Structure 1
Amino acid sequence: MPSIYQLKPAFQGLLRPFVRALARAGATANQVTVAAVLIAFAVGAALLACPRREVLLLLPLALFLRMALNAIDGMLAREHGQMSKLGAVLNELGDVVADVAMYLPLALHPEFPAVPVVLVAVCAVVVEMTGVVGVQIGASRRYDGPFGKSDRAFAFAALGLLLGLLLGLGVPGGAWIGWLLWLLLAASLWTVVNRARQALAEVAGKEGAA
């Protein structure tokens, strides 16, 4: 199923010279992972502290930076001999903690309906844990779409940019924000089902070939 995650190799290619420079400077994958989580908490705190519409423009900037850091930590780990069990734990937990820290505060922001925001944030955790469960049953870590981590980041970045610009110009929000969030929730639930199905199919294929 198509997902923005499929663009990751091209994105990594653009970042590779910078990653090499970081490795030469002594930066570690775990440091980068923790930095991405701290950025998410900082943005979440800003969303809580500031009800002004302009603060929503932090979302596209922070989410792009976070996705870059997530790609960088993986490249440092794989390509520069920094893979570790601690890193694997930080990577998986960091993703879901950062998602919750950045998206959940939107439930208290005046432009967003609380219920769908909370449900999307909770479902984001379920989506990523479903991908991890694949490993437990003998499949690979599943990244199937249509609404994985990268897709969520793109959707919320676009929403933050759109609302920050339109509302900053005096264009009012409306029910469409809620309807869009419900669509994102439906896409998240579809992703949970798709990842579980693909993991089971992968295991069945291995058993059939054995």
Structure 2
Amino acid sequence: MNGLYSLKPWYADRLAGLRAGCAARGVSPDTLTWAGVACGAAAGAALAFLPAPLAALPVAVLLAARLGFANLDGALARDTGRTTRRGAVLNELGDRAADLAMLAGFLAVAPLWLVATAALAATLPSWLALAGAAAGAPRRNGGPLGKTERCLLAVIAAASGWYAPVLGVVAVGSVVTAGVRLHWIWRELGR
């Protein structure tokens, strides 16, 4: 059950030319991480300041770019031999910051408690995957509601104005995804 995460290899192949261009120009993987954070924040600003459905196109474009940068940073580091432990930490922090910045845009259109609940729940799958990896399990990504699905849901909210229902789906789906990952990690560590 990998959700849209199963498309990552296909998406990475589509970005190969852009990745090669970044490598040829000496672009730092960390720069791409920060660009992803900026795109997440800009998508949050579009959610906050543009009404539905006018927010849909900018949110979609910015979140597509955010996902592209999230894919490119690590791949560029591997392709150019610039993987570092600090880069790995920055990558994880950048992913969480981009998600939280995007979700912060909902503060203008939904109750604080609901946005906070969705934001906390959205971080759980990643923290579980990192905890499992720290304990010796392979890194587990994907699930019913991961990063890509959260971005898609934000676009749906921006297009429809269904802010509260989307945040509810993000919260519940993220908890379910965390449960799926925990179950898998627990099994792996018990072997």
Q: 1:59 deviation in Å?
A: 1.5
Q: After TM superposition, where is structure 1 displaced by more than 6 Å over at least 4 residues in a row? A: none
For residues 51 and 154 of structure 2, the distance between their equivalents in structure 1, rounded to whole angstroms, comes to 17
Q: Which residue of 1 aligns with 2:126?
A: 128
Where does the alignment leave 5 or more consecutive residues of structure 1 unmatched?
Answer: 164-172, 206-210
8 Å contact kept, 1:47–1:55: yes
More divergent stretch after superposition (113-122 vs 182-191): 113-122
8 Å contact kept, 1:144–1:194: no
Q: TM-score, with normalisation over the residues of structure 2?
A: 0.90
Q: Which residue of 2 aligns with 1:169?
A: none
8 Å contact kept, 2:4–2:142: no
Q: Which residue of 2 aligns with 1:108?
A: 108
- The SS at the match of 2:190 is helix
Deviations 1:4-41 (A, max 9, x none): 11100000001101111110111111110111112222
Q: 1:183 deviation in Å?
A: 2.7
8 Å contact kept, 1:60–1:158: no
Q: Which AA in structure 1 matches 2:122? A: A
More divergent stretch after superposition (144-153 vs 179-188): 179-188
Q: Which AA in structure 1 matches 2:88? A: A
For residues 59 and 169 of structure 2, the distance between their equivalents in structure 1, rounded to whole angstroms, comes to 19
Aligned residues: 190
Q: Which residue of 2 aligns with 1:138?
A: 136
For residues 143 and 77 of structure 1, the distance between their equivalents in structure 2, rounded to whole angstroms, comes to 19
Q: Which AA in structure 1 matches 2:16? A: R
For residues 184 and 98 of structure 1, the distance between their equivalents in structure 2, rounded to whole angstroms, comes to 15
Q: 1:136 deviation in Å?
A: 1.6
8 Å contact kept, 2:36–2:98: yes
Deviations 1:129-170 (A, max 9, x none): 11111112110221130111122112212332x22xxxxxxx
Q: Which AA in structure 2 matches 1:11? A: Y
Deviations 1:90-125 (A, max 9, x none): 11011111111111221222xx34433321112112
**Which one of 188, 192, 206 corresponds to residue 178 of structure 2?**
192
| Map 1:55-94 → 2, pairs under 5 A | 55-94=55-94
8 Å contact kept, 1:131–1:195: yes
Q: Which AA in structure 2 matches 1:138? A: G
For residues 50 and 4 of structure 2, the distance between their equivalents in structure 1, rounded to whole angstroms, comes to 30
- The SS at the match of 2:55 is helix
For residues 128 and 15 of structure 1, the distance between their equivalents in structure 2, rounded to whole angstroms, comes to 24
**Which one of 185, 191, 201 corresponds to residue 187 of structure 2?**
201
- The SS at the match of 2:82 is coil
More divergent stretch after superposition (134-143 vs 34-43): 34-43
Q: Which residue of 2 aligns with 1:153?
A: 151
Q: Which residue of 2 aligns with 1:168?
A: none
Q: 1:66 deviation in Å?
A: 0.5
Q: 1:47 deviation in Å?
A: 4.3
Identity of matched residues, %: 31
Larger Rg: 1
- C-alpha spacing 1:152/1:46, structure 2 compared with 1 (3 Å): closer
Give the CA RMSD over aligned residues.
1.9
8 Å contact kept, 2:56–2:156: no
Q: Which residue of 2 aligns with 1:43?
A: 43
